Chain A
Amino acid sequence: GAGVSQSPSNKVTEKGKDVELRCDPISGHTALYWYRQSLGQGLEFLIYFQGNSAPDKSGLPSDRFSAERTGGSVSTLTIQRTQQEDSAVYLCASSLAVWGNEQFFGPGTRLTVL
Chain B
Amino acid sequence: LAKTTQPISMDSYEGQEVNITCSHNNIATNDYITWYQQFPSQGPRFIIQGYKTKVTNEVASLFIPADRKSSTLSLPRVSLSDTAVYYCLVGPLMGGYQKVTFGIGTKLQVIP
Contact surface of A with B, Cβ cutoff 8 Å:
4, 31, 35, 40-45, 48, 50, 55-56, 58-59, 91, 93, 97-108
Contact = CB atoms under 8 A, between A and B. Distances in A.
Contact of A58 (B36, B43, B45, B99): B99
Contacts of A43: 44, 87, 101-102
Contacts of A40: 104
Interface of B: 32, 34, 36, 41-46, 49, 87, 91-105
Contact of A100 (B91, B102, B103): B91
Q: Is the interface of A mostly helix, strand, loop or mixed?
A: loop
Contact of A98 (B94, B102, B105): B94
A41 B91 CA distance: 21
Contacts of A105: 42-45
Contact of A106 (B43, B94, B95): B43
A50 B97 contact: yes
B96 A35 contact: no
A59 B100 CA distance: 9
A108 B43 contact: yes
Contacts of B92: 98-100
A104 B41 CA distance: 15
B42 A59 contact: no
B7 to A, nearest CB: 14
Max chain A C-beta neighbours (<10 A), residue from B45, B93, B99: B99
3 shortest interchain CB distances as A-B pairs: A105-B43, A100-B93, A43-B102
